[in-house]
Chains A and B, each alone.
Chain A
Amino acid sequence: MAKRSRETDSERIPYQPKGSPPSRGNQGPLVLAGVAILLVLGGFSLAEVKGLRKELGEKVALLENKIADLQRKVEAAPKAQAPQRGPDPNRVYTVKTDGAPTKGNPAAPVTIAEFSDFQ
């Protein structure tokens, strides 16, 4: 048994790095270290990255607020414009005549009221 286990040990030890897939536990810190080195090489400190994230987060929040604002405005827009569309062409309006300068037969069947200005 001892012999066998030694055999298996001697077999396994050289094979382990080759045969078994790289485990995360072993490689994770390495990758992080690599990233950290890259970041340091790139002139970034961890604090800077955190600051940047915070800043971006704030900017995204601002943009989201602005979009929500615009959405509200777009939803409100048709209601606000409705009274500015002008008189309803299918409606019959009563235009007050008192004091208004007139021309022609006061008993004429058709009356034209003109809203206008000088200039």
Chain B
Amino acid sequence: MWKNLPLAFHQNARPAAMAALAANEQGKFWEFHDKLFTSTQKLAKEDFLRYAQELGLDMTRFQAAIAAEKYKGQVDGDAAEAAAMGVTGTPSFFVNGKFLSGAKPFEEFAKVINAELQRLNIPIPAGAPKS
């Protein structure tokens, strides 16, 4: 699940977050997310429009959502929720509500996820990373 926490010193992060939610509206959030992540230097409005076009989005709808700042409330709401929990940096993770800070190695996630499965008495799937 993706939650938005555009950091104040990342000038384009907030419009990018809103654009990504406009893509989400058309079922292409993760595709749009990937485009933003592979080109973090290109986060101007015309870049968002180009990515939307490349993903075959309904451009009228996408542009209208951006022009109206349709997802401003959701982005700011996510950020406020993060602030209320004391989250100040990105990325920050909650695994079943348990806080995991920063870009941790995969093994760290596997450990926490397996611990959660164990706590819930769910067998860890065969072939799942054990560490």
Report A85-105 CB contacts with B as 1/0, cut-off 8 Å: 111110111111101111100
- How many pairs of residues, A versus B, come closer than 8 Å at their CB atoms? 134
Contacts of B101 in A (CB 8 A): 86-87
Contact of A101 with B40 in the complex, beta carbons under 8 Å:
no
Contact of B99 with A109 in the complex, beta carbons under 8 Å:
no
Name the residue on B nearest A87 (C-beta).
B99
**A114 shortest CB reach to chain B, Å:** 5
Q: What is the predominant secondary structure among interface residues of chain A facing chain B? A: loop
Binding site for A on B (CB under 8 A): 1-7, 10-13, 16-17, 20-21, 24, 29-30, 33, 36-37, 40, 43, 74, 77-78, 81-82, 85-88, 90-99, 101, 109, 113, 116-117, 120, 122
Binding site for B on A (CB under 8 A): 83-89, 91-97, 99-103, 109-119
